[in-house]
Amino acid sequence: QVQPVESGGGSVQAGGSLRLSCVADRSIISRSCMGWLRQAPGKQREGVAGIYSGRGGTDTTYYTDSVKGRFTISQDNSKNTLYLQMNSLKPEDSGMYYCVAKFTPCSPADVGSYGPWGQGTQVTVSS
C-alpha cells in the first residue's frame, strides 16, 4: 500500500493557523473514510477529525470536541487530497498529525480507531 504524503505542519504561536494536506492514492481516498489523528508526547492518540465524502458531493464530518469551531476537514477527490484547516491554534493542539483512512463501511466518528498510515507532520503551537 502506498503511503500518503502529509505536509503543512510547522511551528506557530497560539492563535495562529496552519493547513495540513495529505495526498493519498486515489484507490484509497475514493472509497474510504479519511481523517486525522494526533499523537502528543505522553498522551493517548486522539482522533481529531474525520470525513466521508459521499457521492453527489455530500460530506459527513466528525470533530473531537476540543477542535469544534476551530478546525475544518475537507477532501478534494480531483486532487486525491485531504485537508485540515486549523485556526485559533492552542498549545494543546501540538503533536504529530497523521493522515488515516478506513475502507467503507466506515464512520468518520470512529477516526480514533484508524491506524496511523503515513509518516505524519509535526505541529507545534507555542504560548
Residue with cell 487530497: 81
Q: What is the predicted pLDDT for the residue at 3?
A: 81
Q: What is the predicted pLDDT for the residue at 123?
A: 98
Distance CA(106)–CA(104), nearest Å, equals 5
Q: What is the predicted pLDDT for the residue at 1?
A: 60
Nearest to 72 by CA among 116, 63, 81: 63
Round the average pLDDT of the chain to a whole number and report it. Answer: 93
- Is the confidence at residue 2, as pLDDT, over 80? no
Please indicate whether residue 123 or residue 54 has the higher confidence score (pLDDT).
Answer: 123
Cβ 14 vs Cβ 125: under 8 Å: yes
- Is the confidence at residue 66, as pLDDT, over 70? yes
- Is the confidence at residue 57, as pLDDT, over 80? no
At residue 22 the predicted structure's pLDDT band, cuts being 50, 70 and 90, is: very high
Please indicate whether residue 118 or residue 80 has the higher confidence score (pLDDT).
Answer: 80
Distance CA(107)–CA(61), nearest Å, equals 9
Q: What is the predicted pLDDT for the residue at 116?
A: 67
